[in-house]
Amino acid sequence: MPHDDHPARLGTLDRLLPLWIGVAMALGLGLGRLFPGLDDTLDKVKVDTVSLPIAVGLLLMMYPVLAKVKYTRIGHVVADRRSLALSLVLNWVVGPAVMFTLAWLMLPDLPEYRTGLIVVGLARCIAMVLIWNDLACGNRELAAVLVALNSIFQILAFSLLGWFYLDVLPGWLGLDTGGIDITIWEIAKSVLVFLGIPLLAGFLTRTFGERIKGTEWYEERFIPRIGPVALYGLLFTIVVLFALQGEKITSQPWDVARIALPLLAYFALMWFGTFALGLRMHLPYDRNASIAFTAAGNNFELAIAVAIGVFGVSSGQALAGVVGPLIEVPVLVALVYASLAAKRRFYPPEV
C-alpha cells in the first residue's frame, strides 16, 4: 500500500477500499442469511478454541504489513517515551473507561449488549490498526511497537480489567453486575496466533530477504507484490465475521442500531480527542496518526472470540461483538480520509 497522502493517487484497490469492504460485509451477511446453519459450521472449524477461518484471514491481513516494518529502526521509536506513554494511557485507562460509560449511558436496559460492548472496549487494537495506519501514512515502526505493547498488556490485563469493569466498578456504583470468566492463557493463545505468527514471519522475511537479495530488491520488488494480500485478508476476514452473525444482524435491525450508537460515539471521541491532543503536544503527523488510530481501534476478533467462548455463539454479547466491525470498519475508513485531510490542514509541507 503506497504512502501517498492523496487518496486519488492510491492504487485501485486502496482507493475503492470502502466499496470493497461494503461488498464483503454484504456478502457475509447474505451468506449468513441464506444458510442459517453456516455460523455453527464456521464455528466448528477451529483448532482448539481458535477459529481457523478467522485466523487464516488475520494472518493474510497482518503478514504483509509487518513485513514492511523496518525493524532496525524500532529502537529509535522506543526512545520516544512521550508517544509510548500517551498511547498506553489512552488505550488502557481512557479507552475502556469511555466504552464503559457509553455502554451504561446508552444501553442501560440491554445487559447482554452492554456487556458485549464493554468487552470490545477492553480488547485494544492489535491487527487492523496496521491497515488504517498504513493507509493514513502513519508511522509504521511506531504502530508496530504500539501493537506489540497492546498485545503484552492484553495478555496481562484483559482478565483483570474484565473483572473490574463487569463486576467491581458496577458494584461500587450500585449497578447490576455481570461477570466474565476467562483465563490469561485463553487470551494469550489468541494473541499468539493472531499477532505472534505474522509478526515472526514478517521479521524473518525482512531479515533474510534483505540479507539474501538486498534492501533495494526487498523494498521495490518484493513489498509491492505482497502488499495487496493484506487487503485481501481483511476482506476475507470481514466476510467470515459477518457470515457468523448474518441472520441475527439482518433480523434484528433495531438492536443493531442501538448497539451502533455508543460505538459511533466511542470512535469519534477517541480518534478526534486523541488527534487534537497530539496537535496540542506538537507531535509530528505520522506519530499523531498512529497514536490516534491505535487509540480508536479495537481488537474485535479477540472480543468476538471471548464473547463466543464465554457466552456462546448465539448470545447477545457475541452479537454486540460482531456489530463492532460493522461500525468500526466503515468509520475507520472514513477516519483515514479525515486524517489525510487533517494532515493537509494542520501539517503544511516543509519548504
Question: Which SS3 state, helix, strand or coil, does residue 102 take?
Answer: helix
pLDDT score for 14: 62
pLDDT score for 138: 92
Distance, in Å, from the CA atom of 39 to the CA atom of 274, rounded to the nearest integer, reads 37
Domains of the chain, each with CATH number or no CATH: 9-341 (1.20.1530.20)
Would you give the end-to-end CA distance of the chain in angstroms?
26
The answer to whether residues 3 and 139 touch, using CB atoms and an 8 Å cutoff, is: no
The C-alpha cell at 99 is 466504552
pLDDT score for 177: 63
pLDDT score for 93: 95
C-alpha distances (whole Å) from 119 to each of 56, 147, 250, 303 are: 23, 18, 23, 6
Question: Which SS3 state, helix, strand or coil, does residue 246 take?
Answer: helix
Low pLDDT (below 70) residues in the chain: 1-15, 39, 42-43, 47-51, 74, 127, 177-184, 186-191, 195, 309, 313, 350-351
Say whether pTM exceeds 0.75. Answer: yes
